[in-house]
Amino acid sequence: MANRIAGLAMALALVAPAAALAQDGAPRTPWGDPDLQGTWTNTTTTPLERPTDLAGKDVLSEEERAAIDEENAPGIDAAVGVGAYNNFWMERGYVYEQTSLVVDPPDGRLPRVLPKAKARQDALVASRRSSSYPTTYEEPSLMERCITRGVPGVMLPGNYNHNYNILQAPGYVAIFHEMIHDFRIIPLDGRPHIAPGIHQWMGDSRGYWDGDTLVVETSNFTDKLYERRGSLLVWGTGKHMTVVERFTRRGDVIDYRFTLTDPTTFERPFTASIPMVPLDEPMFEYACHEGNYAMANMLSGARDQEAAAQRTGSE
């Protein structure tokens, strides 16, 4: 943990939200590509969107960051009731200097969601808040079902296991994502994407070097992909969504950014910046399904609640 704090501090010192930094002396693979290899983490409590009370403020001072970290420290352990995991299981890290992961639009907020997608999002929210949720195993998120977090979901920090192992070979970059043991092999040889009619949970990635920056373009998503976050955002509709990721090594930090474009969901593309620092621990198997009684319990619990509501004649 102390190493992660040091690494995060280094990340905060090196990465400016919108600056391009010098890349001299970056390590190289034996065949000459920039070396991004290693195990990395991007755990942080910085929210995806800038809080409304920080409107217009894109960076925090050291004092402000310290205050936020202190406020976040008690976490789940301070909650009343059974709740979910306690802090032993959480790995949220600390807050970045930037006030949001979204760096474009400049207000740090996601672009306006277009009406049709908004209706879909509202339906998801309504279903989650319904007293009969879940009625079927297909209603919980793909992550809860241990299927995938998709792209770029798998690169977003959250509660735990946001660790990555980047491997490189001539003509390829591979990324092993600890959650949910998803593995992407990204060819760099300029081959075309798979046919438009083929849709994959993790999409289909192709990469190339732009100077010392690895650019990964991903398309061919399934339209079943969405990310369960506080507002149950809908990332995209699959065939209309493309994600462009950029990995640039700056010392011992990877400046990672992605730009998501879906003209049927968002009125404009948006970009998030999530620095990655070295992980000084091994990555372990994230089996997900092992001991995953939650789905069965959620379904049976909801049926019990329905039955109880019927008995009392109220909802």
Partner 1 sequence: MHKQTWIGALMVVALAGTAPAAAQSNGDGPRTSWGDPDLTGVWDFRTLTPIERPDGLGDKAVLTAEEAAAFEQQALQQWDADRRDGSDLEYGQGSDIERAYNDFWWDYGSSIDEDRRTSLIVDPPDGKIPWTPEGKARPGTFDLAFSGIITAGPEDRALSERCILGFNSGPPVESSAYNNNLQMFQTPDTVVIFNEMIHDARIVPLDGRPQLDDGIRQWMGVSRGRWEGDTLVVETTNSGLERQPAPDRAVHADQRGSAALRVHGQRSHDVHPPVDRADADEALRREPVRVRLPRGQLRHVQPAVRRACRGEGSGRGGIEIASGRPARAPARSGG
Q: How far is the CB of 230 from partner 1 (least distance, A)?
A: 29
Q: How far is the CB of 146 from partner 1 (least distance, A)?
A: 9
What is the pattern of x (binds partner 1, CB under 8 A) and - over residues 157-196?
Answer: --------x-xxxxxx-x-x----xxx-x-x-x-x--x--
Q: Which is nearer to partner 1, 92 or 249 (CB)?
A: 249
Assigned token pair, 104: 């474009």
Q: Cβ distance 141 to 228 under 8 Å?
A: yes
Which one-letter DSSP state was computed for residue 92?
Answer: -
Q: How far is the CB of 22 from partner 1 (least distance, A)?
A: 18
Please name the helix (run of DSSP H) or strand (run of DSSP E) that holds residue 311, with its range, or none: helix 294-312
Residues 238-297 binding partner 1 (CB under 8 A) are 282, 284-285, 287, 289-290, 296
- On the question of a cis peptide bond just before residue 147, with omega within 30 degrees of 0, the verdict is no
Q: Which is nearer to partner 1, 34 or 108 (CB)?
A: 34
Q: How far is the CB of 293 from partner 1 (least distance, A)?
A: 10
- Measured CA to CA, the distance from residue 185 to residue 166 in angstroms comes to 10
Hey, what amino acid is at 178?
Answer: E
Q: Which is nearer to partner 1, 125 or 296 (CB)?
A: 296
Residues 30-69 binding partner 1 (CB under 8 A) are 30-32, 35, 37-38
The residues that bridge with 245 in the sheet, in sequence order, are 216, 258
Q: Cβ distance 163 to 41 under 8 Å?
A: yes
Q: 247: closest CA among 81, 26, 71?
A: 26
Q: How far is the CB of 17 from partner 1 (least distance, A)?
A: 28
Q: How far is the CB of 136 from partner 1 (least distance, A)?
A: 16
If one asks whether residue 197 binds partner 1 (CB under 8 A), the answer comes out as: no
If one asks whether residue 130 binds partner 1 (CB under 8 A), the answer comes out as: no
Q: 184: closest CA among 224, 140, 148, 211?
A: 148
Q: Which is nearer to partner 1, 175 or 233 (CB)?
A: 175
Q: 97: closest CA among 129, 127, 125, 63?
A: 63
Q: Which is nearer to partner 1, 99 or 200 (CB)?
A: 200
If one asks whether residue 89 binds partner 1 (CB under 8 A), the answer comes out as: no
Q: Which is nearer to partner 1, 165 or 259 (CB)?
A: 165
Q: Cβ distance 312 to 293 under 8 Å?
A: no
If one asks whether residue 137 binds partner 1 (CB under 8 A), the answer comes out as: no
Q: Total residues at the site for partner 1 (CB under 8 A)?
A: 34
Q: Residue 230, SS3?
A: coil
Per CB under 8 A, the list member of 3, 5, 13, 27 interacting with partner 1 is 27
Which one-letter DSSP state was computed for residue 120?
Answer: H
Q: How far is the CB of 288 from partner 1 (least distance, A)?
A: 9
Q: Which is nearer to partner 1, 194 or 244 (CB)?
A: 194
Which one-letter DSSP state was computed for residue 40?
Answer: E
For the sheet containing 102-104, what is the strand order? 102-104, 270-273, 253-261, 242-250, 213-219, 204-210
Residues at the site binding partner 1, with contacts judged by CB under 8 A: 27-32, 35, 37-38, 165, 167-172, 174, 176, 181-183, 185, 187, 189, 191, 194, 200, 282, 284-285, 287, 289-290, 296
